[in-house]
Structure 1
Amino acid sequence: MSKLLDPKVMMAIKELSLSAKMTIDGFMSGINKSTIKGSGLEFSQYRSYQPGDDLRSLDWKMFARSDRYYIRESEVETNISIRFLLDASASMQHQDGDFTKMDYARYLAASLAYLGNRQGDAIGLYVFKEGGVFSLAPKQDFQHLSRLFYQIEQIQASGHFTRPVHYKELYAGSGKRELLVLMTDMYQQGDEIFNLLDTLNTLRHEVIVFHLMSANELELDFKGYSTFEDLESGKSIQIDQQQVKNTYQQKLQAFLSDTRTKLLDKGIFYRMMRTDMPLDEALRDFLNQRNKLKI
């Protein structure tokens, strides 16, 4: 199964619905299980009966054994709205091997959308591109999931990141809190992505950031290249990779550490994700880390 879930192989499938199903089926158990007590199916604990409690929750077997009234509580699953935010600026065209960061973001978003939909959550989309924000309101049905897959497939990464003047779409929702999952390479001309995250924080949403990095940029391993071009500004620079490698990696690690610290200080869940890591492994690691933080 791992071989089939390698991004290079998944690209050949060219159907997000199929690849998402393969990624999720069989080993994932959810990203938003709550600890709210109620009348669900999974037993949690007993507590003493209090006046006003629903009599239908009384456990009569416990009463027969103890001659006391107990309420049987369970953990319930809470349905939420999840909106996937995709950075569609030109830097997401950065390529390592046969696929780009945008390709990886597509499959990552589709896989988590499939998971959320299967759990009964409402799924929506924001695409941040030059000139505006594309918005698809959250809904919970399979036809809507197909529309979301179609919109993700149509994304073409180009231009600069969306300017704040176009953020009106962010305020046009239902006003309810959502789980927002941003997929970006954190490439900024200024602080535009940090400013976006500040805006999302003011709306009191829970935010997760997947910071996509390719192996060749993490390791400065661009075989045969000495000239590098900025995909957004068009500027180019010539470097000797071996000569600058140590300095580059020191500055890169400082940048990654600073980015992580800034986001955690804002109460944002941060995860750097390598695009050469098979999606099933990457998502399993993410879910395990997230569940540990919720304990």
Structure 2
Amino acid sequence: MAIKPLSLAAKATIDGFMHGINKSTIKGAGMEFSQYRSYQAGDDLRSLDWKMFARSDRYYIRESEMETSISVRLLVDASASMNHSDGNQTKMDYARYAAACLAYLANLQGDAVGLYIFKNTGLFAMNTRQDFQHLSRLFYQLENIKPEGSFTQQIQYKEIFAGPRKRELLIFFTDFYQQDGELLKLLDTLLPLRHEILVFHLLANNELELDFKGFSSFEDLESGQVIQLDQKKAKSAYQERMNEHLQNTRKEMLNRNIYYRTLNTNEALDQALRDFLNQRNKLNH
């Protein structure tokens, strides 16, 4: 019962409009017909089209297109700052639903999917697999994430993510709050593995606009530090610094050839994911 709301929400969001996040075509013994070509010495005789031979008295190989399957690893920042909310929804709520949707989509396509949760108590690792029971366990873990503390201390990330000897798709959900560049250190550790990396940067509208309805006292969710702030006086300088932070983050990702997209937690999740998938499809074609 614990996984039912999240699994149903993911299914409802995905069904009907989302397309593959990793579609590619290769020549092989797939299901959908692509083209014929002339037989060449060494070709698999099982691929010969005997009906074409009967019509033309020539040997032709029937080629098909098939989609490649990949491993998708969902990386979730579960530090305390992900408890930040704008209204009734926290950043973690948004991240867990977005991750559940992409996990459901990956499983639907026949891709293996795994889950990795980062917080200061360590790293929870759920290796990639492709079956419904595994997906159900993944939903359960997403549902029960409780953000706390700071980001995971640096450990042997490279060994954890080396995995199988093929490229994987790593999708990272984070609010990009870091004390000593630990998020960039993680990404820099993953880059030499030559996986494709996507970063979703979660932001709440009230932190973008500095609009906290009259509050003058603010506490850092990770360090516990409290500051006093006059929102009206600080608003202009704050928004300038926020824009600078976002531009620098985008530049850091671009320099690393990492796909980067901000997600506003006030943005409808289905629309956000649709925009992302449409943009990704354009980049892949």
Which one of the candidate residues 83, 105, 111 is aligned to 1:93? 83
Q: Structure 2 CA distance, aligned partners of 1:102 and 1:14?
A: 18
- Partner deviation per Cα, 1:233-260 (whole Å, 9 max, x = no partner): 1112222222222222222222112211
2:182 paired with 1:195: no
2:56 paired with 1:32: no
**Equivalent residue number for residue 5 of structure 1:** none
Per mean C-alpha deviation after superposition, the further-off stretch among 167-176 and 45-54 is 167-176
Q: Structure 1 CA distance, aligned partners of 2:103 and 2:79?
A: 21
Q: Structure 1 CA distance, aligned partners of 2:31 and 2:162?
A: 36
Partner secondary structure for residue 26 of structure 1 = coil
- Identify if the C-alpha distance between structure 1 residues 177 and 241 changes in structure 2 by more than 3 Å, giving closer, same or farther: same
Per the TM alignment, residue 273 of structure 1 is displaced from its structure 2 partner at its CA by 0.9
2:199 paired with 1:209: yes
| Kept in 2: contact 1:91–1:232 (CA 8 A) | yes
Q: Structure 2 CA distance, aligned partners of 1:214 and 1:171?
A: 30
User: RMSD across aligned C-alpha pairs, in angstroms?
Assistant: 2.1
Q: Note the residue ranges of structure 1 that are not aligned, 5 or more in a row.
A: 1-12
TM-score (norm 1): 0.88
**Equivalent residue number for residue 286 of structure 1:** 276
**Equivalent residue number for residue 216 of structure 2:** 226
Q: Structure 1 CA distance, aligned partners of 2:280 and 2:270?
A: 15
How many residue pairs get aligned? The number is: 283
2:152 paired with 1:162: yes
Q: Letter of the aligned partner of 1:248 in structure 2?
A: Y
Partner secondary structure for residue 67 of structure 2 = coil
TM-score (norm 2): 0.91
Q: Structure 2 CA distance, aligned partners of 1:22 and 1:271?
A: 23
- Identify if the C-alpha distance between structure 1 residues 43 and 242 changes in structure 2 by more than 3 Å, giving closer, same or farther: farther
Q: Structure 2 CA distance, aligned partners of 1:116 and 1:98?
A: 29
Which one of the candidate residues 40, 43, 57 is aligned to 1:53? 43
Partner secondary structure for residue 11 of structure 2 = helix
**Equivalent residue number for residue 120 of structure 1:** 110
| Kept in 1: contact 2:157–2:190 (CA 8 A) | no
2:97 paired with 1:107: yes
Q: Structure 2 CA distance, aligned partners of 1:172 and 1:62?
A: 46
**Equivalent residue number for residue 12 of structure 2:** 22
Q: Note the residue ranges of structure 2 that are not aligned, 5 or more in a row.
A: none
Which one of the candidate residues 248, 258, 262 is aligned to 2:238? 248
- Partner deviation per Cα, 1:138-166 (whole Å, 9 max, x = no partner): 11111111111111111110100001136
Partner secondary structure for residue 112 of structure 1 = helix
**Equivalent residue number for residue 262 of structure 2:** 272
**Equivalent residue number for residue 258 of structure 1:** 248
**Equivalent residue number for residue 73 of structure 2:** 83
Partner secondary structure for residue 222 of structure 1 = coil
Q: Letter of the aligned partner of 1:259 in structure 2?
A: T
Q: Structure 2 CA distance, aligned partners of 1:227 and 1:47?
A: 72
Q: Letter of the aligned partner of 1:274 in structure 2?
A: N
Which one of the candidate residues 167, 182, 187 is aligned to 1:177? 167
Aligned-pair identity (%)? 67
Per mean C-alpha deviation after superposition, the further-off stretch among 172-181 and 133-142 is 172-181
